[in-house]
Each structure stands twice: as structure tokens, then as C-alpha cells.
Amino acid sequence: MRALIFAVALAASGAAFAEPVTYTLDPTHTQVAFSIDRFGFNRVLGRFEDVTGELILDEANPANSSVRATIQVASVDSSNDTRDGHLRGERWLNAAQFPTIEFRSTAVRLTGAQTAEVTGDLVMLGQTHPVTLSVTLNKIGNTPNPPNPRAAGFSATGSLTRSTWGSATAQNLIGDSVSISIEALAIPAQAAN
């Protein structure tokens, strides 16, 4: 009888001992957006259409979680073909020489029950510097659409100073600070295959 009670108790507490789960970013439901000051009149809004990555989520100890993501620079979309051509060009993001922007987390610091500061190395324009994002875990659970895979949804915000990565084009006209907004959905890696 004791063995049965112990087995039931162990099964009930299984979630507490759950192994970290590897998730894949869902590219159709993950968006990386940015905004930057233009001449002091307004902010230009844009986003990257091609984002891939992997999240290792440790629900028992979230501080042990990690994320890596890759953005295809050529996928930039600011709702203007001419401007997008400039952004992809040598004077701005230089997609030909530096086709990707990459982020790899180095630390996760919990700030609340569902929030954390995620610090990582951002590789852009051939340079690597740290960036910290404020991240909110919106929900973990099964999605409503078949085949109803388990998913984790996140929102994140942050900023970077573009000159830190060597972007000095039109410094007196275009802002140096770039605001970042991310909406991400991740599904277990085995479900993504």
C-alpha cells in the first residue's frame, strides 16, 4: 500500500521534476518589429518577415531557460519598397555582407511570476554586443487549432543603440536608438517536424 501511495504522489509531482523542453519558434506566428526616429517628425515602423530559432524552456527552473534566434536581414519590410532597398543596402543593414542578425541568450533573470529580463549576445553587422529584453510569458498550453499542439507564447520589448554595432549612416537625421518589439510562439521541436 505504501508503495502505491508513493507512486501516486510521485506521479502527481511529476511536473515539478519535468525535464527542460526544446521548442521551435513558429515562423508564421513570430514577429520581430522595430521603430526608429525619422528627422524628428515621426518614427518609421518595420519588421522582419523571416525569423527562426529555438527555445529551451525549463518550467521547473525558468532561469535555466535559453533562446537563440536568427533573422534574415533581406526579409526586412517597412511598407515601402524603396526604403526596404536602402535598408538592405550597404549603408544600412548590408544584407549582402551580413545576411543574418543573430541573438543567443546568456542569462535569464526572473522579475516576476511571468516576467524576466533575458540578456544575450546580438550579432549584427559583423559585431557582437549584449542586449537585454524584457520578456513576458503569456501562456503555455495547447493551442485551439488541430492538431492542438502544446505551445508557449511570449512578448518581449527592448532597445539598442545602432551606432554600437557600427551603424553611423545619417546619424544627425535618423535616430540612434532602435526600439524592438517581439511577439513569439514556440512549439515543441518534435511537433514542428
Q: What integer pLDDT is reported at residue 192 of this predicted model?
A: 61
The correct CATH number of 18-192 out of 1.20.58.220, 3.40.50.720, 3.40.640.10, 2.40.128.110 is 2.40.128.110
Please, what is the Cα angle at 54 between 64 and 90, to 5 degrees? 120
Provide DSSP, 48-87: ES-EEEEEEE-SSSGGG-EEEEEEEGGGEE-S-HHHHHHH
| Residues contacting residue 91 through CB under 8 Å, at least 6 positions apart | 169
**In the chain, what are the domain boundaries?**
18-192
Please, what is the Cα angle at 100 between 96 and 103, to 5 degrees? 155
User: Which residue reads 512578448 in cell numbers?
Assistant: 155
Q: What integer pLDDT is reported at residue 2 of this predicted model?
A: 38
Phi, psi of 27 (to 5 degrees): -65, -25
Q: What integer pLDDT is reported at residue 14 of this predicted model?
A: 40
**Cα–chain-centroid distance for residue 158?**
10
pTM here? Answer: 0.87
Per residue of the chain (193 residues), give pLDDT as tens. 433 333 333 333 344 457 999 999 999 999 999 999 999 999 999 999 999 999 999 999 999 999 999 999 999 999 999 999 999 999 999 999 999 999 999 999 999 999 999 999 999 999 999 999 999 999 999 988 888 889 999 999 999 999 999 999 999 899 999 999 999 999 998 766 5
